[in-house]
Amino acid sequence: MKLWQKNTEVDKDIERFTTGKDREMDLYLAGYDVLGSMAHVRMLEQIGLILPEELPLLQQELREIYEQVQAGEFIIEPDVEDVHSQVELMLTRKLGDLGKKIHSGRSRNDQVLLDLRLFTRHKLEELLEAVHALFELLIKLSERYKKLMMPGYTHLQIAMPSSFGLWFGAYAESLVDDVQMLQAAFKICNRNPLGSAAGYGSSFPLNRTLTTELLGFEGLNYNVVYAQMGRGKMEKTTAYALASVAGTIAKLAYDACLFNSQNFGFITLPSEFTTGSSIMPHKKNPDVFELTRAKCNRLQQMPENIAAITQNLPSGYFRDYQLLKEIFLPAFDELLDCIKMTAASLERVRVNEHILDDPRYEYIFSVEEVNKRVLAGTPFREAYRQVGMEIEAGRFRADKNIKHSHEGSIGNLCNDKITARMEDLLSSFPFEHIHKALESLLDS
């Protein structure tokens, strides 16, 4: 029996088509659905829709369901439509008509809005921890190899001197901007939609401020129509933030594949992090970085995939939104896996300490020679012409003793400034407040 079903028996093919992958996807949301119900019944008791003696019974049963979810024992039964129906069914089996009271003042629409917010908030915390760990590794490697030179490229042509300190540090700073994107997504996510019901509120005297406090949200989506309009918007905003992280990881993975190749030879991956060929015994393929690149490129398409489903919908709820779960919910674990595999690979990468001994890289010092002559009084355009003519004539000889001192250059990486910016961003996330609120909710 469906929550909405009356006397009509639903066509089985229609049921299969409309349910789709909801039961599978809703397992991602099960624990958060229970937390939302625990806050909701506390509020219902406060406004008199649940009796004081009924509240402990509901709370205890919901707590037991939550423990089943945490233990991996929770299932959505084959004839049950979604996680909301399954939780209500389990309560009703144990508590009879009391279990049917929990839906007062809410709709499945605001339940799934809430579940998605709670899920996303938690997964953003996991993602931030992984990003921070990779950031710290990149800063460590940048400091370790800050004096080790390598060629820089433009147009895949040798260009100017660079260093491993710059290379590792560049990706560290890129992650700082990614965290700025995650912060924006988190702020949009961390607002409570519960109480918007089907998108038009309720005639019950709901205390939405109470559920906001119980669930540790920063505030409310006040306008109930806007709360429903947030479906899809929150996912797309978060998807852009995930795509930003994925873009950084994809570019790093591409560099690693390129630099690991024999034609470059800048880095070497440990043998156990590579795979072989079925016919070429010499091959050691960087499959981890290749798959990371592909997965992260796919993740960068997620905002467009979400927009393709939602961009022409008016206000109000539509079943189209159901398909967003299939795109959105698994994406966090895929990105987390890519970040962790990238960190594991970089932790054991070996760098070539003698790259610039190869004479093919001599011309990357041509700009240094131009600048040296400018500092000695030659106009820049004339110095440029002189060095260019010497290169054409085969008379150029590189001076590899260079000094870069400005902020963010080879000799002044500013890793301390980059780290301070990252720490400042991370400190703005109110995870401790959220943990305390949810612990209190579960213990009550």
The 3-state secondary structure of 405-424, one letter per residue: CCCCECCECCHHHHHHHHHH
DSSP 265-301: -SEE--GGGSB--SS-TT--B-HHHHHHHHHHHHHTT
Q: What angle do CA 296, 301, 304 make, to 5 degrees?
A: 160
Same domain, 369 and 322: no
Q: Examine residue 401 and state whether it is found in any structural domain, yes or no.
A: no
pLDDT of residue 8: 63
Taking residues 155-159, report their average pLDDT. Answer: 95
- The answer to whether 396 and 387 have CB atoms below 8 angstroms apart is yes
Same domain, 131 and 73: no
* pLDDT band per the 50, 70, 90 thresholds, residue 278: confident
Beta bridge partners, 366, equal none
pLDDT 10s digits, 29-49:
999 999 999 999 999 999 999
Position 89 pLDDT exceeds 90: yes
Same domain, 367 and 331: no
pLDDT of residue 4: 43
Query: Which range among 106-115, 246-255, 264-273 shows the weakest confidence by mean pLDDT?
Result: 264-273
Give the residue carrying structure tokens 């896996």.
337
- The answer to whether 410 and 402 have CB atoms below 8 angstroms apart is yes
- The answer to whether 286 and 260 have CB atoms below 8 angstroms apart is yes
Same domain, 177 and 246: yes
**What's the mean pLDDT when you consider all of the chain?**
94
Taking residues 123-144, report their average pLDDT. Answer: 98
Scored b (16 or more CB within 10 A) or e, 321-342 reads bbbbbebbbebbebbbebbebb
Percentage, residues of the chain above pLDDT 90: 87
Q: How many CA atoms lie within 13 A of 77 on its CB side?
A: 10
Position 5 pLDDT exceeds 60: no
Q: Examine residue 214 and state whether it is found in any structural domain, yes or no.
A: yes
Percentage, residues of the chain above pLDDT 70: 98
CATH code, 134: 1.20.200.10
83: containing domain: 12-103
Q: How many CA atoms lie within 13 A of 118 on its CB side?
A: 27
pLDDT of residue 9: 67
Same domain, 301 and 333: yes
Rounded CA separation 36/118 (Å): 9
Rounded CA separation 34/88 (Å): 10
pLDDT of residue 71: 97
Same domain, 224 and 265: yes
- The answer to whether 422 and 137 have CB atoms below 8 angstroms apart is no
* pLDDT band per the 50, 70, 90 thresholds, residue 305: very high
pLDDT 10s digits, 354-411:
999 999 999 999 999 999 999 999 999 999 999 999 999 999 999 998 889 999 999 9
pTM of the predicted model, to two decimals? 0.94
Rounded CA separation 183/187 (Å): 6
pLDDT of residue 17: 82
Q: Examine residue 431 and state whether it is found in any structural domain, yes or no.
A: no
Same domain, 45 and 174: no
Domains in the chain, number? 3
Rounded CA separation 442/261 (Å): 53
Q: Examine residue 403 and state whether it is found in any structural domain, yes or no.
A: no
pLDDT of residue 144: 97
Same domain, 25 and 79: yes
Q: Two tokens at 189?
A: 């996510």
Beta bridge partners, 163, equal 149
CA 70 to chain centre: 22
Q: Examine residue 111 and state whether it is found in any structural domain, yes or no.
A: no
Same domain, 352 and 374: no
Same domain, 291 and 386: no
Beta bridge partners, 351, equal 267
CATH code, 89: 1.10.275.10
Q: Two tokens at 369?
A: 């020679």
Q: Which of 393, 418, 439 is the endpoint of a domain?
A: 393
pLDDT of residue 81: 87
Same domain, 78 and 210: no
Taking residues 210-238, report their average pLDDT. Answer: 97
* pLDDT band per the 50, 70, 90 thresholds, residue 273: confident
Q: Examine residue 430 and state whether it is found in any structural domain, yes or no.
A: no
